[in-house]
Structure 1
C-alpha cells in the first residue's frame, strides 16, 4: 500500500487542528477503558486512604445514578462547552449548524438525529462540546446529547460526559429532562433558559455498523421508542440530519451477513456497543490512522413536529407520529442535500 504523506509546509494552524483532533479522537475511542484503568490502578497501587476514597466515589456515583440518572441541570460550567480547544476541534472539519425553523423555548424537544456515523461527531460538537453556534441560533434552549446509560456508572467517564453536556438516554433520564417546566419563573430556569432539547441518535449502534463514506443508511423504520417518549412528555420531535457525518471515517468492510458483521452484531447484542474498526488518516499521512478525515459536517435542524401529550400513547397514534417523522426526515434530506453534499444526485437516503 502506497502511503500518501502530508506536505511538509502545512500552515501551523492546520497542524494544530490536526493534532488537537487526533488527541481528542484517541480520548473518545479509549475513554471507557481508560477510565476503568485509572480506577483499577488507584485501587491496586493506592494506599488505604486512596482506596477508601475511590470506593466511596464509586458507591456514590452508582447511588446517584439510580437516584436521578446522573442528571446535570442547566448547561453546566459553560467554559467546558465553549472553550478555544473545542473550537479548534470544530474548525478542523469544520462542523457547522443550520437552522431551518425556530424552536420556541416554551416546550421541550427531542432531536431525532441522523446518521450516527462512527462517533456522532456533528451532534456531539454542536450540542455537547462547543455549543456557541447553538446558543446563537436557539436562544433559551439548552442542548443535551443522549448516550448509553451504562456510561454513567463508570467512574471518571461519567463526570467527563456530564461536563460535555451528555445525558443518559434511558427512559427515566429522558423523562426527567423532557418534563422540566418551561415557566421562566420556575427556580430551575434561573439561568435564563426555559427549554431542554435532547438529541437522540435514533439509529444507535446498528446505524453505526452501516456507516461508510457517501452512504446514508439510517435505522428508523422500527424505532418508535423516542416517539412514545415524546408523546408521554408532550415534547416536539425535531428531525436533524448531519450531512458529511459518514464521510469523516471509513471502517473495515463489513457487508451484511459477513463474518465480521455477524461478530459485530453479536457483541452489540451483548453490550449495546458496536465494535467498529474505523479507518481514518494519520497525523502526517492521508492513508491510514485513527484521525478523522478533514471533511465538512453540516447539521441541519428541521422544523418541530408537535404531538398531543398522553401518558399512555395509543399504538395507532404512535404509528401516525412515527410516519410524520419518517416523512420529515426524507423531506429534509432531499431539500438540503443539494446545498451540503458533493454528489447529491447520486446519493439516496436508505431507511431501514
Structure 2
C-alpha cells in the first residue's frame, strides 16, 4: 500500500558506479517499452500511412497485410528459436545484473523429452522469467544443455506492429493451446538427433497465474492464482510433456501496489478493464532513474528462479477430468514443497510466510 513515505524523496547517491547507472538505464528502457511500445506501434503505423509518401505508405500497408496473413502461423505453429544475439545480449546481461537475477537447478531436465514449465508468481512484469528464458539464456543453456526454452505470452502481443518482431526475436511464443501443443510435441523421440543449433528438446514456460495473479503482486505477498487453472495440465497430458514447477523468489518484491482487496472497488474496476482489454491496470510504485521513492522502474531486489523436479504425466489426447484433477493436485503439492524447501534461503522471516492458492 502507498504511504506518506512516498512523498519523502530518497535521492540516489551521486557516486554510484557508472555500470549501475547503465543497468538502471536499460531496465528503464525495457519497462517503458512494455508499457508504451504496443500503443505507439499502432500510432506510428497510422501516422506513416496518413502522412508518408506513396512508397512509404505502400511499404507499411504491405507490412500490415503481412501481419494479418502471418497471424495464424504465429498463434498456431511458430517454432522459431529467436535471434541468437538477442537472446544472449549486452542488454539482457544488464537486466540480469541490475537485480541480480539467478537461476537454480534442483533436478536434471533430460533432452529425451519435452517440458512444460509452470511458472509462479507472475509478479508485475515477470522479470526473472524474461531474463532467464528470453534476453539472456546463457545461464539456462549452461544448466540445461540441449533443451531449448521459450517463454509463452498473450497472443495479443503478436498483433502489435514492430513489437511482435521484438518479442519473436527473444524466442517468445503464443500461449494459445495450438501453439503450446506444437512446441511440446516436437522431438519427443528419445533417439531424436540434435538440431543444427545444438538442441534436441523443447521447454515452454507458461506463467500460469497470468494477469489475475499480477493484481496480488506486492512485497511479502504469496497469493497464487492456481486452484482453477488446469488447462496447462491438460496440455501437458495431450503433448506427453513433463510438468516442471518453477518458483521465482523475489519477483513480488520489485513493486508496491495500491491496496486492492478482492471485493474492493479498486479490484472490481481492475477486473472490469481486464475483461475488456485482457490487461489489468496495475497501479504500482517503484523507483526512478535518480531516486528510490517513486516511479515505474523496479526496485533493485535479488530474484532467484528455482527450477523444480519434472512431474511425468500420462499422454492422452483427451484426458478425463478426474485424471486432470489428480495431476493438478500433485502439481500443487510439488510447487508448495519446492517453495517450503527453498524459502529460508531467499526470503526474510520465511517461517512466517506460507503459499496461498486461489
Q: Deviations over 1:169-202 (max 9, x none)?
A: 0011111111112458868922221111111110
Matched, 1:226 2:258: no
Give how far 1:62 is off: 2.0
Unaligned runs of 5+ in 2: 1-6
Report what 1:145 is aligned to. Answer: 151
Once the two structures are superposed, the pairs formed by residues 240-251 of structure 1 within 5 Å of their partners are: 240-251=246-257
Contact residue 110 and residue 198 of structure 1 kept, 8 A: yes
Match of 1:291 among 293, 297, 307: 297
Corresponding position of 2:161: 155
Residue 281 (1) aligns with residue 290 (2): no
RMSD of Structure 2 on Structure 1 (CA): 1.6
> In structure 1, how many angstroms separate the alpha carbons of the residues matched to 2:282 and 2:227?
23
Aligned to 1:123: 129
| Pair 185,43 (structure 1): closer, same or farther in 2 beyond 3 Å | farther
CA distance in 2 between partners of 1:74 and 1:44 (Å): 33
Residue 273 of structure 2: SS of its match in structure 1?
helix
Q: 2-side partners of 1:228 and 1:60: how far apart?
A: 33
Report SS of the residue matched to 1:191.
coil
Structure 1 position 340 matched with structure 2 position 346: yes
**Offset, 1:77:** 2.0
Distance 1:184 1:155, change over 3 A: farther
Shift of 1:99: 0.4
Name which of structure 1's ranges 216-225 and 342-351 shifts more when overlaid on structure 2.
342-351
Report the CA distance between 1:69 and its aligned residue: 2.4
Equivalent residue for 1:29?
Answer: 35
**Structure 1 residue 348, shift from structure 2 partner:** 1.5
**8 Å contact 2:243–2:312 — kept in the other structure?**
yes
CA distance in 2: counterparts of 1:14 and 1:282, whole angstroms: 13
What residue number does 1:10 align with? 16
Q: 1:68 to 1:249 in 2, by over 3 A?
A: closer
The alpha carbon displacement at 1:159 in A equals 0.7
Could you tell which deviates more after superposition, 322-331 or 190-199?
190-199
| Shift of residue 31, structure 1, vs aligned partner | 1.9
Q: Within 5 Å, give how 1:180-219 maps onto structure 2.
A: 180-183=186-189, 189-219=195-225
The answer to whether the Cα contact below 8 Å between 1:184 and 1:190 also exists between their aligned partners in 2 is: no
Contact 1:70 1:152 in 2 (8 A): no
Assess, with a 3 A threshold, how the Cα gap between structure 1 residues 183 and 234 changes in structure 2: closer, same or farther: closer
Q: Secondary structure at the match of 2:304?
A: strand
Distance in 2 (alpha carbons) for counterparts of 1:93 and 1:142: 24
2-side partners of 1:185 and 1:99: how far apart?
24
Report the counterpart of residue 180 of structure 2 in structure 1: 174
Shift of 1:61: 1.9
User: What is the alpha-carbon distance in structure 2 between the residues aligned to residue 307 and residue 114 of structure 1?
Assistant: 20
Deviates more, 1:68-77 or 1:291-300: 68-77
- Is the Cα–Cα contact under 8 Å of residues 221 and 351 in structure 1 kept in the other structure? yes
Which segments of 5 or more consecutive residues in structure 1 lack a partner in the other structure?
A: none
**TM-score when normalising by structure 2:** 0.95
Show CA shifts across 1:250-291 (max 9, x none): 122222222221111001112221111221001111100111
Q: Aligned residues, how many? A: 352
Shift of 1:343: 2.1
- Equivalent-residue separation in structure 2 for 1:328 and 1:146 (angstroms): 22
Q: Deviations over 1:18-37 (max 9, x none)?
A: 11111221112212112222
Partner of 1:111: 117
Moved more, 62-71 or 33-42: 62-71
Work out the CA distance in 2 between the residues paired with 1:325 and 1:24. Answer: 33
Q: Show the counterpart of 2:91.
A: 85
